[in-house]
A and B are shown apart, each in its own frame.
Chain A
């Protein structure tokens, strides 16, 4: 079985640009999470979907971050406009109900 697939693995953006990160969850998983990981803040929840419905939108990340799940096998995270402080690794994870999370390899974003 394929795991969680994230693309691109690396992205370099200029300040003010729009970037879109993509995620394909494990087939059959009904929960999908987007996290941002930095050394200082650790893993911060950006969005949480259950059966394609948005359950949590990460509060402080609402204004420039928008996650969507158009179907059960694909999700996107849009950051618009990007700022240098958005430089981080963005992790997508999926699970079945309340089971363990399976993480993708992450998308490393660098904003200049």
Chain B
């Protein structure tokens, strides 16, 4: 049962344009969401996170939007750069009442930014 879904296996955009990566979740208990970027042969690198009490969080070129009613979040990268080309993972955790820290990941979206 895939609780975190990234339905687009790949996305291609032009340098300078906006990249929008989408993520849907099914578990209503998820209350903290993270985006990671992964290059081949490296571990995931943390990009940005958002708590369920917010609907937007910005960090430089990266903005994450959360729509709790739709159980949907998106990562916007503006402007996109060739160095952004990587696999992007959406991850979620359920913290309320829990005693451990477990991240549930989507399958990832391969972003290619063309010069």
The answer to whether A and B belong to the same complex is no
